[in-house]
Structure 1
Amino acid sequence: MQDKGTEFETLTDPMNPVRTATLFTALGLGTPPAVGEPLPPFFHQLHFWNALPPEQLGRDGHPKVGGLIPDMGLPRRMWAGGRLAFRAPLLAGVEAEKTTWLEHAEQKQGRTGPLGFVTLRHEIRQDHELKITEWQDLVYREDPSPDAPKPNPQPAAEDEDSEESWQFSSTLLFRYSALTFNGHRIHYDIDYARDVEGYAGLVVHGPLLAQLLMLKAERELGPLSGFRFRAMSPVLHTEGATLCRKGQVLWVRGHDGRLCMLAEAEL
Structure 2
Amino acid sequence: MTQDQAPTIRDDILDPSRIKALAATLELEDTTPRPFWHQIFFWDAQPPSALGADGHPRIGALIPDMGLPRRMWAGGRLQFHSAPVMGQTARKTTTLLKADRKQGRTGALGLVTLRHEISQGSTLLVTEDQDLIYRAADAPAGTPPQAGTDESASRTHSFTTTELFRYSALTFNGHRIHYDRDYAKDIEGYEGLVVHGPLLAQYLMLMAEDLLGGLARFEFRATAPLMDHQEATFCAKPSDGGLTLWVRAADGRQCMTANAYKHLSA
TM-score by length of 2: 0.94
Determine helix, strand or coil for the equivalent of 1:121: strand
The answer as to 2:148 corresponding to 1:157 is yes
Residue number in structure 2 paired with 1:48: 42
**Shift in Å at residue 6 of structure 1?**
4.3
- Counterparts of 2:236 and 2:85, CA distance in 1: 27
The answer as to 2:189 corresponding to 1:195 is no
- Counterparts of 2:237 and 2:30, CA distance in 1: 27
Q: Gapped runs of 5+ residues in structure 1?
A: 34-38
Residue number in structure 1 paired with 2:254: 259
Report the more deviating stretch, 24-33 or 225-234. 24-33
The answer as to 2:19 corresponding to 1:20 is yes
Determine helix, strand or coil for the equivalent of 1:2: coil
Residue number in structure 1 paired with 2:2: 2
The answer as to 2:177 corresponding to 1:182 is no
Preserved CA contact (<8 Å) 2:74 2:133: yes
Percent identical among aligned pairs is 55
Preserved CA contact (<8 Å) 2:194 2:225: yes
Q: 1:107-146 maps to which residues of 2 (within 5 A)? A: 107-144=101-138
Residue number in structure 1 paired with 2:231: 240
Aligned-residue CA RMSD (Å): 1.1
Determine helix, strand or coil for the equivalent of 2:79: strand
- Counterparts of 2:125 and 2:84, CA distance in 1: 7
Determine helix, strand or coil for the equivalent of 2:236: strand
1:60 counterpart letter in structure 2: D
1:252 counterpart letter in structure 2: V
- Counterparts of 1:262 and 1:31, CA distance in 2: 26
Q: Gapped runs of 5+ residues in structure 2?
A: none
- Counterparts of 1:16 and 1:214, CA distance in 2: 22
Preserved CA contact (<8 Å) 2:77 2:129: yes
Provide Cα deviations, 1:173-225, integer angstroms capped at 9, x if missing partner. Answer: 00000000000000000010001000010000000000110011001112212
TM-score by length of 1: 0.94
Preserved CA contact (<8 Å) 1:24 1:32: yes
Runs (4+) off by over 6 Å? none
Preserved CA contact (<8 Å) 2:106 2:142: no
- Counterparts of 2:135 and 2:244, CA distance in 1: 29
- Counterparts of 1:40 and 1:92, CA distance in 2: 12
Determine helix, strand or coil for the equivalent of 2:46: coil
Residue number in structure 2 paired with 1:36: none
Give the number of equivalent residue pairs: 258
